[in-house]
C-alpha cells in the first residue's frame, strides 16, 4: 500500500438538514417530493477527509459511492467537485431505494471494495434521515476488516491508522490495521465548498452508473415498515415575565429538587 491508499467514500443523498420534514398523511413515510435534498452532512466530512489524505499523498484514488435513485448522481457530482477522482452509483428504482437497509448498502459496498481493490472506506457515522449508525460497522464485519467509528482524528502510521474516537464520557484512541473502515464524527474536519471552476471540472470526471443486476445481488428485506407517524406533540407552554415567576411555577410543578 506504499503507492497510496485506494479510498472509497459513501455519499448518501438525504433531505437537507435544515428542512422541517413532514410525515405523509397515509403514514407510509415522509414527504420527499419538492423537498430540498443534499449530501448527508457526515458524508461531506468523510469526502473532505479522503481528499485531505489525497492532498497529503496518503491516498492515491478517491472513489465516491452512492446507492439510490438517479438523483443520487447530484451528490456524487458534489463529491467530485470537492475533489474526489471518480464516482460510482448503484441506481435503484425509487420504491426500492425507500426500502434500502444499511445491510443492503453494505452488501453492495462490499462488492465494490472487492472489485476496486479498496484499502480504506470512509463513511459518515450516521445518515440524518434514518439515524441508523450502522452501515460502516456492517461493512467492516462483512469484509472481516477492523472498524474505527465516530472518528475525530485520523493519522496514518505505516500500515495502521491511529484514530481518536468520540465516545460517551470522553474519547478513546485505537490503532487499526489497514485495510479498514472508518466512520467519521462532526468534529473531524470542516468540509470545503466546491468552487465554480471545480463544479465545471467535476462534470467531466468519470461517473459510472451500475444496476443491482450488475452485481448479481437481490436485496432481501429484513425489515418491514408498518407505519411512519408524527411524534407526540407537546402541549404549548407559556411565557413567564420574571425569574421569580419561573421559579414559583417550577416549584408548583414539583420539578425542583429540594434545594441544598
Partner 1 sequence: MIRALGVRSRLIPNTLRRFGSSLVIVEHNNSNVEPITLHAISAAAKLGSVSCLVGGSKCSSVAEEVTKLAGVTKVLVTDEQCLENSVAEKITPLVLSAQSKLGVSHIVVGSSTFGRDFLPRVAAKLNTSPINDVIAILSEDTFQRPIYAGNAVVTLRSLDPIRCLAVRGTAFPPSTISDGPAASIESFPLPGAEALGSEASDLVEFVSVEKHKSDRPELTDASVVVSGGRGMKSGENFELLYQLADKLNAAVGASRAAVDAGFVPNDMQVGQTGKIVAPKLYIAVGISGAIQHLAGMKDSKVIVAINKDPDAPIFQVADFGLVEDLFKAVPTMIKLL
Residues of span 190-229 touching partner 1 by CB under 8 A: 221-229
Contact 75, 9 (CB under 8 A): no
Residue 35 touching partner 1 (CB under 8 A): no
Q: Which is nearer to partner 1, 3 or 238 (CB)?
A: 238
Residue 257, CA distances (Å) to 238, 245, 246, 249 in order: 22, 17, 15, 13
Q: Which of residues 135-154 bind partner 1 (CB under 8 A)?
A: 135-142, 144-150, 152
- Ramachandran assignment for 46, one of left (phi > 0), alpha (psi -120 to 50 degrees), beta (any other): alpha
Q: What residues contact residue 256 under an 8 Å CB cut-off, 6+ apart?
A: 247, 250
Please give the residues from 169 up to 188 whose contact with partner 1 meets the rule CB under 8 A.
Answer: 169-177, 180, 185-187
DSSP strand pairing (86-91 vs 59-68): parallel
For the CB of residue 113, give the shortest distance to partner 1 in the complex, in Å: 14
Determine if 20 is a binding residue for partner 1 (CB under 8 A). Answer: yes
Residue ranges in 227-246 that form contacts with partner 1 under rule CB under 8 A: 227-231, 234-244, 246
The stretch among 15-23, 81-89, 192-200, 205-213 that binds partner 1 (CB under 8 A) is: 15-23
Report the nearest approach of partner 1 to the CB of residue 43 (Å). Answer: 13
* C-alpha cell at position 91: 441506481
| Residue that is written with C-alpha cell 407537546 in the block | 234
In the complex, the smallest distance separating the C-beta of residue 163 from partner 1, rounded to whole angstroms, is 9
Amino acid at each position: 500500500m506504499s503507492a497510496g491508499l485506494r479510498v472509497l467514500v459513501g455519499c448518501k443523498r438525504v433531505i437537507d438538514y435544515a428542512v422541517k420534514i413532514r410525515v405523509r398523511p397515509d403514514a407510509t413515510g415522509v414527504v420527499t417530493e419538492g423537498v430540498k435534498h443534499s449530501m448527508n452532512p457526515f458524508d461531506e466530512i468523510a469526502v473532505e477527509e479522503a481528499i485531505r489524505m489525497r492532498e497529503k499523498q496518503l491516498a492515491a484514488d478517491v472513489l465516491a459511492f452512492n446507492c439510490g435513485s438517479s438523483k443520487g448522481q447530484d451528490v456524487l457530482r458534489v463529491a467530485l467537485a470537492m475533489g474526489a477522482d471518480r464516482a460510482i452509483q448503484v441506481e435503484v428504482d425509487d420504491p426500492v431505494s425507500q426500502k434500502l437497509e444499511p445491510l443492503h448498502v453494505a452488501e453492495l459496498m462490499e462488492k465494490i471494495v472487492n472489485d476496486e481493490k479498496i484499502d480504506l472506506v470512509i463513511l459518515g457515522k450516521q445518515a440524518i434521515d434514518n439515524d441508523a449508525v450502522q452501515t460502516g460497522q456492517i461493512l467492516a464485519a462483512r469484509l472481516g476488516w477492523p472498524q474505527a467509528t465516530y472518528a475525530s482524528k485520523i493519522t496514518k502510521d505505516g500500515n495502521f491508522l491511529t484514530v481518536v474516537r468520540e465516545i460517551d464520557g470522553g474519547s478513546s484512541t485505537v490503532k487499526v490495521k489497514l485495510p479498514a473502515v472508518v466512520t467519521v464524527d462532526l468534529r473531524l474536519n470542516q468540509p470545503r465548498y466546491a468552487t465554480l471552476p471545480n463544479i465545471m471540472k467535476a462534470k467531466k470526471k468519470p461517473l459510472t452508473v451500475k444496476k443491482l443486476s450488475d452485481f448479481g445481488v437481490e436485496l432481501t428485506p429484513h425489515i418491514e415498515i408498518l407505519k411512519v407517524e408524527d411524534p407526540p406533540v407537546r402541549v404549548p407552554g407559556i411565557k413567564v415575565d420574571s425569574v421569580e415567576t419561573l421559579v414559583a411555577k417550577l416549584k408548583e410543578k414539583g420539578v425542583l429538587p429540594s434545594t441544598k
